[in-house]
Amino acid sequence: MRTKALSIASGILVALLCFSFSALADDEVTRRAQDPNEWPSPGRDNALTRYSPLRDINTDNVSRLQMIWSQSTGALRGQEGQPIVIDDVGGKPMMFFVSGCPEMSKCNIVQGLDLSHPDHPIQVWNYMKQNDRDETAIPRACCDTVNRGPAYADGKVVFGTFDGFVIALDAKTGREVWTVKQASPEKGETITGAPLIADGKVIIGFGGDEFAIRGRVDAYDLKTGKQVWKCYSTGSDKDACLTAETNKANPQYGIAGKDLGIHTFVGNDWKIGGGSAWGWFSYDPKLKIVYYGTGNPGLWSPSYRCSKRTQEECNTGDFDNKWSLTIFGRKVETGAAVFAYQMTPFDQWDYDGVNENVLVDMNVDGKDRNTLVHFDRNGFSYVLDRADGTLLRANKYVTVNWAERIDMTTGRPIKIREHSPFERGHSVNACPSSMGGKDQQPCSVDPTEPNKFYCPTNNWCMELEPQPRSHMQQGTISSFANIFMYPEKPGVAGKIKKFDVLSGQTDWEISDPYPNWGGTLVTAGGLLFYGSLNGDFRAVNRGTGKVLWERKLASGIIGNPISYRVKGKQYISILCGIGGWIGVPVTAGLDIDDRFGAIGATAMAKAANLDKIPQGGTLFTFRVME
């Protein structure tokens, strides 16, 4: 009896310790997000609001904002990410950031900067993985070798490498704590996204839809790197972690019991059916749900993804290519899908669904809701109840001609035949382009004004011509389409807009001849910060849309601004350096006159004069001068 009692007591102790570690890791991320001085995770909080409560820099003094220091990233190309700032790493305030991967000799360099003297930071360590690197990863960069930044918890800086490693470093020393191989470049899998740390787990996906990969998300134990769960985007219900409870509130989205991740594809194409999660992850610590979106089903020549012969037959739901282009809400403990809402079933445009899912609470139609807001590539902004996936709003936020609207009962788009590419060899006009009304560049929101979002948008259309399929092999480019992209209005490539997700109305917008491929930052000081691919970094009165301050930086901006405070002074930092899908014609030295190059990017790069933008990755930091 004594032995049994001790065994029970030991079991309880182990359970408490495990719970304690999980809770501490969870509490740490949440606690740090409550400190306005820090920028502790990619979106500042795991809700991805990109809102800073700091107000020292405001509409009255922003005209005195000056560059105070800069630091090279060590790599030529830019990053689609941001630094993170932690105020107590070994008693020091520290900043961490990761470079892109232009070549394996300068791939994903991590820097740790001591901010004890905030106007004169000192690099105390840098790290780049030296062994087991995969040179085959670079040629498999569909849309540039960018990185979207690290995450932090439990004294660890965690990030992904382009060639497929997930690595945790000791934040004080830069030494490896653990390393795991998640993605396989030989299969076309590469990591560009930022990880999410939640519930004592590191959650991350990879890209490669155009290389015929099979999308998957993995959760690793933050302490050890041991895999906790994995869930695929295609395949059986078991592989996709669907249960009898999935979509219980909305069975019209698709339920378990039918293996839709297999049978909505032709033959065995689900094995190469894309659906990668290469974008952003968010997390609700009360609901214990992780949110992310999945990419396209790989093959851009859509008629091959349906065994029927007509547009109408292929859009009945039988060939939706589940679960590509889907917003997943998964239980953080197990990965089990709470809901799965597919935004663009039977994709015909490459409208990847990986853009950020921002978590805010708002009153919708007289009822207080815990909501998720998603601005999709397909040109619609979605508002879902984040507890069960119920669709509450779906509004066009840019020019959209491929669909009339979203059916609010079924959640399905009402497609327009003349703007839906289908037949091979037949070119079709569609707006927005494959780069989307907005690509991964994230919006921001003040949680006290939860229906007003500050978003960078693309204002491009395209001619898309499906091509014959010559092969379909993992690790080999398999798009099979000619795409010509062009500005919707000559001279306007990008717009920043303040958009109401409930009414579907734009409060104000700023047009720009250069694309806005970087994210936004909104602050309690009444300001919005963003940058353009010309290198123009701007501060805007968020109430009126008036530009109050701007500076020309060294290269194009595809990064996301952050704000933090050290020793009573507020700072703004931004990563600079042309890159991303829109910039890859420049960074890869492609023929700018090839109208179909880089899956349509060269035509837009030429139209926006991006070949005149110098390269170079640099972090710039600003503060108000007294």
What gap in Å lies between CA 394 and CA 407, rounded to an integer?
9
What gap in Å lies between CA 334 and CA 256, rounded to an integer?
16
Question: Catalytic residue at 350?
Answer: yes
**237-259 in b/e burial notation, b at 16+ Cβ within 10 A?**
bebbbbbeebbeebeebbbbeeb
Residue 395, classed as helix, strand or coil, is strand
Retrieve residue 325's tokens: 């282009």
Question: Catalytic residue at 296?
Answer: yes
Cβ neighbours, 10 Å, residue 341 = 25
Query: Which amino acid, one-letter code, is at 75?
Result: A
**Element holding 281 (H helix, E strand):** strand 281-284
Which among 46, 147, 250, 296 is annotated as catalytic?
296
* Nearest alpha carbon to residue 41 among 284, 286, 333, 281: 281
CB within 8 Å of 238: residues ≥ 6 apart: none
Beta strands, E only, 513-594: 521-523, 527-531, 536-541, 547-552, 562-566, 569-576
Asked if 579 and 102 count as a contact pair (C-beta separation under 8 A), the reply is: no
The pairing of beta strand 51-52 with beta strand 521-523? parallel
Cβ neighbours, 10 Å, residue 489 = 13
What gap in Å lies between CA 16 and CA 20, rounded to an integer?
6
Query: Which amino acid, one-letter code, is at 612?
Result: K
Retrieve residue 88's tokens: 């107590």
Retrieve residue 107's tokens: 């791939």
Asked if 324 and 295 count as a contact pair (C-beta separation under 8 A), the reply is: yes
Q: What ranges in 344-493 are assigned the alpha helix state H?
A: none
What gap in Å lies between CA 260 and CA 252, rounded to an integer?
13
Beta strands, E only, 60-190: 65-72, 84-89, 92-98, 110-114, 122-127, 151-153, 156-160, 165-170, 176-181
Asked if 187 and 213 count as a contact pair (C-beta separation under 8 A), the reply is: yes
Which among 87, 163, 210, 218 is annotated as catalytic?
210
Which among 163, 269, 350, 439 is annotated as catalytic?
350
With tokens 């569909």, the residue in question is: 142
Cβ neighbours, 10 Å, residue 11 = 10
Asked if 102 and 463 count as a contact pair (C-beta separation under 8 A), the reply is: no
Asked if 136 and 169 count as a contact pair (C-beta separation under 8 A), the reply is: no
Catalytic residues: 210, 296, 350
